[in-house]
A and B are shown apart, each in its own frame.
Chain A
């Protein structure tokens, strides 16, 4: 066979693979949305679930919990992840200890989520005495997300051209100022992408949350925004089921009358929420990047 023909075949094969992947994705999302959109209405988005036997109601608290858990997790993950990533990229010296840290991070990121869930149950739920709570869920999710975040921050920092770093150091700028004012702004787009990936796992995770944040949501009062109040949606020490956990739960407990509808609607809502979050995060990343790198206003 001549090289030209092989080249052409290879091109066609790669196109086909791409179309296949995109096709599967469109089919999957289309199916979820088609099934779900019929269920979603204002009541579904805002109301609490109805009773087990009668069905009805919505997934309002679960939707709120998903986002709130995301915020809590990111509040813990982002500072720790930045710190770890900066250490690995800028301070860790090549050697056996660094290698050991790297291996540990990799092991941590490949732990099965059910194992992390059981670990969370033991440590964050029982040992601390918090019980099933948002904070326990957020900490368990941090266990997953931290390695991802550290790796992404490290890669984003090391991808900044060496010339930029040398330019800053050669101006008599300290290492820390160089990291803060030159490296981090330049690495920001990569860090944002990483944050989105990590956030996606928060939205989608169920196994680790069943044992930590719990599978139920108590009555919460959306007019009470005092985080210390037990019925406040902001109270981090209340149990909370997220959308993903709720989907699992209504399907597992077959007595729920309208389990199918709730599952379809919640799935579609989850997909839409992730999509909106991704678009927003990308926009925010671009906005901050533009602010940091273009001129400051006179």
Chain B
């Protein structure tokens, strides 16, 4: 399998504080890669480095490279808007816009220049179907997205991301605000999506990482302690700190 994202010698500083240290990571195409670790270990920071959302925070400095399809996203020529079109992101809190369900999905495509009504209709139906939400909302596409449940909102947000046709999807603890049933549906969706997309997911829930991911990276204090196939990491970790963490001794 080809490597979609190659991270080399990546460091990130918040002012004087080093939040990420010498990160080396190869993320495979069309696989789900889980990032686990205790709070404050840098896994979310790392995730947000991939689509450069950390640029929004004043005082952030980075060294090293993150290459997607061989192109360094931290190079001078990198167009941030283009990068974020290719690398979609789903956040911890479902964050639909205060618009109708239809307009939430059509938002990105419209701004990126698609005006044709038929085309937009087609995108809305396709992405909502992909996100397993179509049957639940097809009769109320024009009512407010804020009327949906948390789980539905999170799937709507995923559909909204799919509508701008990314090839990488970053998920930052996408299920942490959801109930168990919604979480299960979201996990099914993630497994479906890896047919077409490369997915990187940050999660606090180790069972979740074990259920949905192919590869898992264990972060601790801004470093990657261990990175291997999910099965191996959870059944036969090679580092004692990984073992302590997954067996619940800390974190």
Contact = CB atoms under 8 A, between A and B. Distances in A.
Interface string B152-196: 000001001100100000000000000000000000000000000
Contact of B85 (A94, A172, A177, A181): A172
Given A93-B58, A294-B144, A295-B142, A170 B103 contact: no
B11 to A, nearest CB: 23
Contacts of A163: 91, 93, 95
A169 B111 contact: no
Nearest to B121: A298
B53 A171 contact: no
A170 to B, nearest CB: 4
Nearest to A95: B58
B99 interface: yes
A167 B91 contact: yes
A73 B198 CA distance: 54
A172 B82 contact: yes
Interface size bracket, A side: 20 to 34
B2 interface: no
A157 to B, nearest CB: 15
Contacts of B64: none
Interface in A139-171: 161, 163-164, 166-171
B222 interface: no
Given A93-B58, A186-B98, A294-B100, A171 B144 contact: no
A172 B100 contact: no
Contact of B91 (A93, A166, A186, A296): A166
B84 A172 contact: yes
B97 interface: yes
Interface in A179-227: 181-182, 185-186
Contacts of A185: 98
Interface in A22-60: none
Contacts of A93: 58
A258 B53 CA distance: 69
Contact of A171 (B99, B107, B143): B107
Interface residues of B, number: 34
Interface string B101-137: 0110001100110000000000000000000000000
Nearest to A293: B98
B163 to A, nearest CB: 9
B105 to A, nearest CB: 11
A263 to B, nearest CB: 47
A166 B48 CA distance: 11
Interface in A252-298: 293-296, 298
B88 interface: yes
B81 A173 contact: yes
A295 B98 CA distance: 10
A163 B107 CA distance: 16
Interface centre among A163, A295, A296 (most CB of B within 10 A): A295
A103 interface: no
Contacts of A94: 58
A99 interface: no
Contacts of B142: 294-295, 298
B53 A169 contact: yes
Interface in B33-72: 51, 53, 56, 58
Contacts of A177: 111
A244 B195 CA distance: 71
A174 interface: yes
Contact of B102 (A167, A186, A293, A295): A295
A172 B108 contact: yes
Contacts of B100: 294-296
Interface centre among B82, B84, B86 (most CB of A within 10 A): B84
A294 B85 CA distance: 25
Contacts of A161: 95
21 contacts: A94-B58, A166-B56, A166-B95, A167-B91, A167-B95, A169-B56, A170-B53, A170-B84, A170-B91, A170-B161, A171-B160, A171-B164, A172-B81, A172-B84, A172-B164, A173-B81, A182-B97, A186-B98, A293-B99, A296-B103, A298-B142
Given A168-B97, A171-B160, A295-B143, 20 more contacts: A163-B95, A166-B53, A167-B96, A169-B56, A170-B84, A170-B88, A171-B85, A171-B107, A172-B84, A172-B108, A173-B81, A177-B111, A181-B111, A186-B98, A293-B99, A295-B99, A295-B102, A295-B103, A295-B142, A296-B100
* Interchain residue pairs A-B with the least CB separation, the first 7: A172-B85, A295-B100, A295-B142, A163-B95, A170-B89, A172-B84, A167-B95
